[in-house]
Amino acid sequence: MRILSMQPKGFRCCAKNVGIKDTTLDFTVIASDVPAAAAAMFTQNRFCGPAITVGREHVSNGRLQAFVINSKNANVATGEEGLANVRELVGLVAEELNIESEDVLPSSTGVIGRQLPMEKLRQGIAGSGQQLQYGHLEQAARAIMTTDTYPKMHCCRIGNATLVGIAKGVGMIEPNMATMLAYFLTDASVDPEQLRVCLKEAVEPSFNMVSVDSDTSTSDTVAIMANGLAGEVNLADFRQALQDMCLRLARELARDGEGASKLIEVTVEHALNAQQAKRVAKSIVNSPLVKTAIFGSDPNWGRIAMAIGKCYEQDTIVPEKIDIAFGCIPVYHRGLAVDEGHLSALKNYLDHDEIAIHVSLGLGEEQARVWGCDLTYDYVKINGTYTS
């Protein structure tokens, strides 16, 4: 449930259009009144943008005071000029906020291979320090969007503190650390090292379990600031709240995947280890054949069997030990197809907008749950004209 009225103490933001691509919001600054404990995780794509390079440097000491984010331009594959532009951008924001440039974490998302329109950004940054206001974080959630169809934001209370999370990203999504862009703000007091551990623990079962199209972005960033203005909180409660919020945002990203009409949840149980469970689950949710079958409500469960079997490096997989079901409807049981009498019920189930696929490997006790979406005509349309 979204509770947009809750805001953590001491955070201000402004969101605006600087004309990077169109007239929608495309630039935001989120700042803390005081230096904050901070942690972040970034893409492992080797073609990462200079904002990732600078972001890694700036968060390495466990302290930040601002995020600056632009959408509509990823500033990736832009060489030394692109790196210089990021350093100039964070310097200009730091001057506006009267803080150190090393306390600003930058992010860019959008089209790859184009230099940032620096004159537009310079004009947009000018005066932004006076434009920051408390609240208005939903506008920041809008400003970071590219092909998202709606802003994604969640809030919750932890004792006397508040935690807010915003996220974007519905295409080029296959994380290997985090995925897309996601930012968390809290007025809880949390030690930087504890914050780093909490963020890593929250990312693995949530953002790292989402895939829209199996493509790991060049710009993925998940970051958190904790300014401590609400005092200390129970660490276990904070850890759980952050994990729950990451999970809710991750599901929303999958549901809003480019062109998607259905959310897919794949659970693989009774695997030998967690790595095997995740590998098989991702194989299923990433299969174009599985995704298109679900889009068309086609009860072609053989495609799931294929996706399990193509994990050929997992030589422990034995078809005669496997069970497959859609929701609570079994389709395959330990070597044999289940009675075709389920076909009508299965077709009706596949017409729903949330589809659950359950697989038991019959090998051990570990499991993994991942989320994705169907593959529709609109996905091709969106990505066939992305730079137009």
What's the rounded mean pLDDT across residues 279-293?
Answer: 94
Residue 258 assigned to a binding site: yes
- Taking the C-alpha atoms of residue 23 and residue 144, their distance in angstroms, rounded to an integer, is 13
Residue 179 assigned to a binding site: yes
For residue 322 the two structure tokens come to 């496997």
Q: 192 to each of 134, 183, 215, 240, 306, how far by Cα in Å?
A: 24, 16, 31, 17, 45
Q: Domain limits of the chain? A: 11-255, 263-384
CATH of 11-255, one of 3.90.1150.10, 3.30.300.30, 1.10.10.10, 3.60.70.12: 3.60.70.12
For residue 32 the two structure tokens come to 């803390």
Task: Clarify whether 179 is annotated catalytic.
Answer: yes
Lowest mean pLDDT among 9-18, 79-88, 106-115: 106-115
**pLDDT of res. 308:** 95
CATH of 263-384, one of 3.40.50.300, 3.30.70.580, 3.10.20.340, 3.90.1150.150: 3.10.20.340
pLDDT tens digits along 237-255: 999 999 999 999 999 988 8
pLDDT tens digits along 318-354: 999 999 999 999 999 998 888 766 778 898 999 999 9
- Taking the C-alpha atoms of residue 41 and residue 59, their distance in angstroms, rounded to an integer, is 10
**pLDDT of res. 381:** 85
Residue 383 assigned to a binding site: yes
For residue 386, pLDDT beyond 60: yes
**pLDDT of res. 2:** 44
* Complete DSSP assignment for 356-378: EEEEE-SS-SEEEEEEEE---HH
pLDDT tens digits along 114-125: 999 999 999 999
Residue 388 assigned to a binding site: yes
Instruction: Say what the pTM is.
Output: 0.89
pLDDT tens digits along 124-172: 999 999 999 998 899 999 999 988 889 999 999 999 999 999 999 876 6
For residue 3, pLDDT beyond 60: no
Residue 291 assigned to a binding site: no
Residue 206 assigned to a binding site: no
- Choose, from 28, 109, 179, 216, the residue flagged as catalytic: 179
Domains 11-255 and 263-384 share a fold: no
